[in-house]
Amino acid sequence: MNKSSILSKAQNYENEFINNIDIQEKPLFHFSAPVGWINDPNGFSSFNKEYHLFYQYHPYSANWGPMHWGHSKTKDFIKWEKLPIALAPDEEYDKKGCFSGTAIEADGKHILMYTGVCEESNGSELHAERQIQCIAIGDGINYEKIECNPVIPTSMIPEGSSLIDFRDPKIWRSGDKFYSVVASRSEDGSGQILLYSSNNLKDWEFVTVIDKSNNEIGRMWECPDFFNIDENQILIISPQEMKAEGLRFQNGSNAVYTIGTYDEEKHSFTRKDYNQIDYGLDFYAPQTLKAEDGRRIMIGWMHSWENRIIPDSFKWCGMMTIPRELTVRDGLLIQNPVREIENYYKNSVEYTDILVKDEIRLDKISGRNIDMTVEIMDGDYNELQIKVAKNSECETTISYEPSKNIVTFDRTYSGTNRGVLHRSSMKLKKNDGNTKIRILLDNYSAEIFTNDGEEAMTCTFYTPLDAQDISFSCDGTAKINVIKHDIVV
Ligand code: FRU
């Protein structure tokens, strides 16, 4: 296999500069950029009984740039092994970037399908940007782009749809056929999801439009995923330019899901409304795989296009969420951290029936790498606050207001100096009984799961790591139970 000089250069750069980053400066148990910048998870897939994760990658700086595919793998979704960069923008048809895509195991090979961004001459002097779908085949370490790329050129886009916004394929197999959904922009300028099929991964044909926005759910749709959990067919998309509706969609770019039914013969998808997947400030472009044991696992980019707060001194930018197990309960998507996290629990502490009034700290409950569940029982108060990553200068607050049934995350005082969105609130569905707030805290992030995964809220913050305290306070009296585990990887 001939490796291009562009790929070799990126691999060598990564190997050289990865050692310049102090490992203590990274998150402990969340995947993060080896060096430079990462965005969307790509090609999250099972291959040879291991789980592979690729990612949009610009190793050369902590900012977005010409996209490569970085590559890592894991056996348990928690510990990752870095592999050589898999794809670089080194062909005429992807020279402006290897954008997001997908992977699948077929005939013992690992197949990547990604979006090539190129310039197409339209006969005159003009060179217009185009997006097309391409294939690379590999063995889990090295990947080769196939000769007949692009496999889905712009000529296969339905008439009237954008030739520039056509990206992020997600592939699956059904019987002998391969299918791929691709995000696109229809005549009205808003998002739609196109379905293509193939018998051999090289020759593709357009099948149908699976769903479209009609300018109701944001503008361009990005990063589709289409899969079933039991009899529920789920479409995930990441729409740009969403307008805020109450507490929902306050973040510009959001990730949403809808549950419906899919007639595989007619390729017709009937759906209900779209719901926000995660109410946090930093969650986008999630992708799922089916694990060996049948679980549907989702991982998302734990960052935001709009609200960048990472300090300029960092030589890396971008993290992924904890992989999450997805299930469906009462027609809603339920998310919980993969159970493998429990294998890394240490120093577990449990408190029951603690009365919270003025601000208190609980012995052995502190730190920046923990999995903590606070169960709030009865009380007479307006707001209960849990403060994390706290020292005399900084704090990040997670609060619960029972009368509104709202959980709020606030990083205003986390030490940031950027004037972007710092607060996010979510309304809980359950409105009787105790309220459970599970906080998965890592050095620079909090993933909050309420009531056993009914809602999720993911936010980053970059408080100096010596802020380790955790406190509980209330403007009346509340009774809580707390279970905390340190995470040691
Ligand atoms: C989503 C996205 C994708 C695109 C990639 C480029 O975050 O905009 O649509 O393929 O990022 O890096």
The answer to whether 168 and 212 have CB atoms below 8 angstroms apart is: no
Atom of ligand 1 nearest to the CA of 99: 10
Please give the pLDDT value at position 252: 77
List the one residue out of 255, 389, 259 whose CA is nearest residue 321. 255
Q: Compute, in angstroms, the gap from residue 451 CA to the centroid of ligand 1.
A: 32
Q: What is the mean pLDDT of residues 127-149?
A: 96
Residue type, 441: L
Determine the pLDDT at residue 250. Answer: 85
Average pLDDT in the 432-447 region?
97
Q: In the annotation, is 40 catalytic?
A: yes
CA–CA distances in Å: residue 387 to residues 275, 399, 479 = 28, 8, 17
Q: What is the CA(238)–ligand 1 centre distance, in A?
A: 10
CA-284 nearest atom, ligand 1? 7
316-370 confidence digits (pLDDT tens) = 999 999 999 999 999 999 999 999 999 999 999 999 999 999 999 999 999 999 9
Give residue 222 CA to ligand 1 midpoint distance, Å: 7
pLDDT tens digits along 18-58: 999 998 899 999 999 999 999 999 999 999 999 999 999 99
Query: Is residue 467 predicted with pLDDT exceeding 70?
Result: yes
Q: What pLDDT score does 124 carry?
A: 65
Report residue 121's pLDDT band, with 50, 70 and 90 as the boundaries.
Answer: confident
**Gap from CA of 481 to ligand 1 centroid (Å):** 42
Contacts (Cβ under 8 Å, ≥6 apart) of 317: 33, 36, 37, 38, 62, 63, 303, 308, 310
* Catalytic residue, candidates 40, 165, 225, 442: 40
Q: How high is the pLDDT of residue 1?
A: 65
Cα 397 to middle of ligand 1, angstroms: 31
Minimum-distance ligand 1 atom for the alpha carbon of 222 = 9
Q: Which of 37, 38, 39 to mutate to test the pocket of ligand 1 (most atoms within 8 A of CB)?
A: 39
The predicted model scores a pTM of 0.97
Burial class (CB in 10 A: 0-12, 13-18, 19+), 489: exposed
If we measure between CA atoms, which residue out of 337, 339, 338 comes closest to residue 448? Answer: 337
- Distance from C-alpha of 456 to C-alpha of 302, rounded to nearest angstrom: 13
Ligand 1 pocket (Cβ < 6 Å) reads: 39-40, 56, 67, 99-100, 115, 167-168, 222-223, 284-285
Rounded to the nearest integer, the mean pLDDT of the chain is 96
Instruction: From 168, 237, 299, give the residue whose CB has the most ligand 1 atoms within 8 Å, as the site to mutate.
Output: 168
Q: Residue 377: which residues within 8 A CB-CB, separation 6 or more?
A: 353, 434, 478, 479, 480, 481
Ligand 1 nearest atom to the CA of residue 40, by list position: 7
Cα 379 to Cα 121: distance, rounded to the nearest angstrom: 68
Indicate the top mutation candidate among 102, 167, 256 to test ligand 1's pocket, ranked by most ligand atoms within 8 A of CB. Answer: 167
Residue nearest to atom 8 of ligand 1 (CA): 222
Please tell me the distance between residue 376's alpha carbon and the centre of ligand 1 in angstroms. Answer: 39
Q: Does residue 199 have a pLDDT over 70?
A: yes
Per residue, the 3-state secondary structure of the chain, as one string, reads: CCCCHHHHHHHHHHHHHHHHCCHHHCCCCCCECCCEEEEEEEEEEEECCEEEEEEEEECCCCCCCCCEEEEEEECCCCCEEEEEEEECCCCHHHCCEEEEEEEEEECCEEEEEEEEEEEEECCCCCEEEEEEEEEEEECCCCEEECCCCCCECHHHCCCCCCCCCEEEEEEEEECCEEEEEEEEECCCCCEEEEEEEECCCCCEEEEEEEEECCCCCCCCEEEEEEEEECCEEEEEEEECCCCCECCECCCCCCCEEEEEEEECCCCEEEECCCEECCCCCCCEEEEEEECCCCCEEEEEECCCCCCCCCCCCCCEECEECCCEEEEEECCEEEEEECHHHHHHEEEEEEEEEEEECCCECCCCCECCCEEEEEEEEEEECCCEEEEEEECCCCCEEEEEECCCCEEEEECCCCCCCCCCCCEEEEECCCCCCCEEEEEEEECCEEEEEECCCCEEEEEECCCCCCCCEEEEEECCEEEEEEEEEEECC
pLDDT at 470 over 90: yes
Compute the distance from residue 5 Cα to the ligand 1 centre, in Å.
24
Single-letter residue type at 78:
I
pLDDT tens digits, one per residue of 147-168: 999 999 999 999 999 999 999 9
**CB count, 10 Å around CB of 394?**
21
Cα 226 to Cα 9, 159, 180, 335, 438: the distances in Å are 35, 23, 9, 17, 28
The Cα–Cα gap between 183 and 102 comes to: 13
pLDDT band, very low/low/confident/very high, at 485 (cuts 50, 70, 90): very high
Chain-centroid distance, C-alpha 406 = 23
Strand bridging mode 127-138 / 109-121? antiparallel
Distance from the alpha carbon of residue 386 to the mean position of ligand 1, in angstroms: 35
Question: Which atom in ligand 1 lies closest to the alpha carbon of residue 67?
Answer: 12
**CA 354 centroid distance within chain:** 35
Name the pLDDT band for 125 (thresholds 50, 70, 90).
low
Burial environment of residue 55 by CB neighbours within 10 A (0 to 12, 13 to 18, 19 or more):
buried
Which ligand 1 atom is the nearest neighbour of the CA of 238? 1
Q: What is the mean pLDDT of residues 63-83?
A: 98
The larger pLDDT score, comparing residue 116 to residue 24, is at 116
Mean pLDDT of 388-392: 98
Q: How confident is the model at residue 431 (pLDDT cuts 50, 70, 90)?
A: confident
> Is pLDDT of 195 > 90?
yes
Which of 222, 287, 317 maximizes ligand 1 atoms within 8 Å of its Cβ, making it the mutation to test the pocket?
A: 222
Kindly state the percentage of the chain with pLDDT values over 70: 99
User: From the CA atom positions of the chain, what is the Rg in Å?
Assistant: 23
Nearest CA to ligand 1 atom 9: 222
